[in-house]
Copies of this chain bind each other. A is one copy, B any other.
Amino acid sequence: MSDATAPTCETLLSMFPNLFTLCIGDRTIPIRSIRSPESPEAGAAVFCSNPRVFAQALAGAASVLVVPASAAAELEPRRGSKTLLASPNVEYAMATAINAFFLKSPYTDASEEDRHPTAAIHSSVTMADGVRVGPHAVVAAGCKLGKRVFIGAGAVIEKGTEIGDDTTVHPLVYIGHGTRIGVRCEIMPNTTLGKEGFGYAHDEKGNHHRIPHQGRVVIEDDVHIGANCSIDRGTFGETRIGAGSKLDNQVHVAHNCKIGRNCLLTAKFAIAGSSTIGDHFVAGGSSTVTGHIAIGDGVQISGMSTVNKDLPGPGRYGGFPLVPLQQHLKIRAALVHLPEMRKQLGRLMKKLSPDGEA
C-alpha cells in the first residue's frame, strides 16, 4: 500500500477509539501493511497480544507495535523509534484494522461478470441488488437471494432456499431444498447443508427403512461454517445453528440439533441427533456430543471430549466420561501411572492376602 492511501496511527485512533486507546511515539507514520511478529517488515504494524512475542517484535523491522493497554507503560522505555499503540483487545483491533484497510477479497472467480453466463439460475429465482453467481453454479426454482449474496463457482442451491443479505456461499457447497440462511453468513467450500438425516426404522429381518426427513436447516445471522462440513435437515422440524456461531472444518451436525448463539465448534466436532446446545458453547477439536443431550449456556469442553449426559452449564469439562476440566486433567495425569499402580496393588494384595482373599 502506498503512503498516500495508508492509514496512520492517528487514523486508527480516531476511527476506532475503543480499540486503539493510546499512542506513544510518532502518530503520523503511515501503516503500509499488517504483519505477524514473526515476519515483520519496514512500514508494517505488528499486533502483539501475547507477551512472549514482545521481544521479537521490538527487535524486528516493523514501524508500529500494537500491544495490550496493560503492557504499554512497561514497553515504552524499550520502544526505540517504534510507535506503540495500546489496545484493550489487540486481536479484535487487528481484525478491525485489516478489514478496514488491508483486505484482499478471497471471493474471486473465473469471471468478472456478476452473473456468469454458465450459471444455471432458474427463471423463478429472485435476486436482490448486487447478487453475484459464479461459473457453473446452480440455483434452483423458487430460491430467494438477498442483497450482495455471492454464490461461488459450482455451488448447488436446491429449490426454495432463502439466503440473507451479504452472505457468501463458497464454491462447491451443496444446500438442500428449503434451507434458510441469515445475513452475513459464510458457508465454506465442499460443505453439505440440508441433506436427509441418518434416521431409519428397522424391521424384524434387520432391514433398515429410511425415515424421510421433511424438515429443514436454518442458519441464523452471522454464522460461519467451515469446509467439508455436513449439517443434516430435521426429521419434521429444524436443525438450527444460532446467530454468531462459528464452525470449523469437518464438523458434523445431525438432524434436529439446535446449536445456540455465539458458539465455537472446532474442527471435527460432531453432534448426534436431537441434541440441544445453549449459547456461548466452546468445543475443542474432535470433541463429540451424543444424541438427545441438553447442554446449557456457557459450557466449554476440551478437545477429544465426549458429552453423553445433560450439562446444565456454565462450566468447563473434559474427557470421556466427561468430568469437570480440572478433574479430567488429574485423570489424564494419573493414567500414565496405571501400569505401575497395577504392579503395586498386586504386590500389596500378595503381601496382605497370600491366599487371594483380601
A: residues with CB less than 8 A from B are: 34-36, 38-39, 89, 91-96, 98-99, 102-104, 106, 108-112, 116, 118, 120-122, 134-136, 138-141, 152-154, 156, 158-159, 170-172, 174, 176-177, 188-192, 195-196, 198, 200-204, 206-214, 222, 224, 226-230, 232, 235-237, 244, 246, 248-250, 252, 254, 262, 264, 266-268, 270, 272, 279-280, 285-286, 288, 290, 303-304, 306, 308, 319-321, 323, 327, 330-339, 341-342, 344-345, 347-349, 351-352, 358
Contact = CB atoms under 8 A, between A and B. Distances in A.
Contact of A196 (B106, B244, B250, B272): B106
Nearest to A328: B336
Q: Which 10 A-B pairs have the closest CB atoms?
A: A91-B201, A174-B189, A92-B201, A192-B227, A230-B249, A120-B135, A330-B339, A198-B248, A156-B171, A36-B236
A138 B135 contact: yes
Count of chain copies: 3
Given A172-B174, A341-B341, A111 B120 contact: yes
Given A252-B267, A358-B351, A208 B246 contact: yes
Given A172-B174, A207-B262, A228-B228, 17 more contacts: A92-B201, A108-B141, A110-B120, A152-B156, A188-B192, A206-B279, A228-B230, A266-B272, A267-B270, A272-B303, A285-B288, A304-B320, A320-B332, A321-B333, A321-B336, A341-B341, A345-B348
Contact of A244 (B189, B208, B333, B352): B208
B352 A237 contact: no
A122 B118 contact: no
Tell which of A104, A226, A249 has the most Cβ of chain B within 10 Å: A249
Main secondary structure of the interface of A (DSSP, over half): loop
Given A188-B195, A206-B280, A228-B228, A338 B336 contact: no
Nearest to A261: B206
Contacts of A200: 95, 246, 264
14 contacts: A36-B236, A89-B201, A95-B212, A104-B214, A108-B158, A158-B171, A189-B195, A270-B286, A331-B335, A334-B339, A334-B342, A341-B341, A344-B345, A351-B352
A254 B99 CA distance: 21
Contacts of A249: 192, 195, 198, 230, 232, 252, 254
A35 B303 CA distance: 37
A230 B235 contact: no
A176 B332 contact: no
A358 B268 CA distance: 45
